[in-house]
């Protein structure tokens, strides 16, 4: 079963959920705003994704906290700590089966990873 870190009001998350359901995947929905991804999961994501890609760069919190200007001065560990503490900063959805991961939603990427 997949773990799906998302936000119920997010259009992108709804599209991703629809895609997974159409393909017959079971998932556990985890509200990313209440339960952010763990540091372990975030570090696993860094193996295949750039650090900046893990941030929701279009989010209000990202802008309010001025992360764009602060990110270059942060260590990777500091950025992971921030993401693990504040789920609204994370790009969504994050989908994982413990071995494979996707960040955000694109049909072609989901088809490649989840088929």
Residue 10 pLDDT > 90? yes
How many structural domains does the chain have?
1
Question: What CATH number has the domain bearing residue 109?
Answer: 3.40.30.10
Digit-coded pLDDT (tens) for 30-64:
999 999 999 999 999 999 999 999 999 999 999 99
Tell me: pLDDT of 115 over 90.
no
Q: What is the pTM of this model?
A: 0.95
The closest alpha carbon to 3, from 20, 23, 19, belongs to 20
Which residues span the domain enclosing 48? Answer: 2-114
Going across the sheet that includes 27-31, the strands are: 27-31, 2-6, 94-96, 101-103
């Amino acid at each position: 079963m997949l773990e799906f870190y998302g936000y119920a009001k997010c259009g992108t998350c709804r599209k991703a959920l629809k895609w997974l359901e159409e393909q017959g995947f079971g998932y556990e929905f985890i509200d990313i705003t209440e339960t952010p991804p763990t540091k372990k999961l975030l570090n696993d994501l860094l193996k295949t994704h750039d650090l900046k890609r893990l941030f929701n760069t279009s989010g209000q919190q990202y802008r309010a906290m001025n992360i764009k200007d602060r990110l270059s001065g942060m260590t990777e560990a500091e950025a992971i700590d921030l993401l693990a503490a504040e789920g609204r900063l994370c790009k969504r959805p994050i989908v994982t089966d413990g071995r494979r991961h996707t960040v955000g939603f694109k049909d072609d990427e989901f088809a490649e990873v989840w088929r």
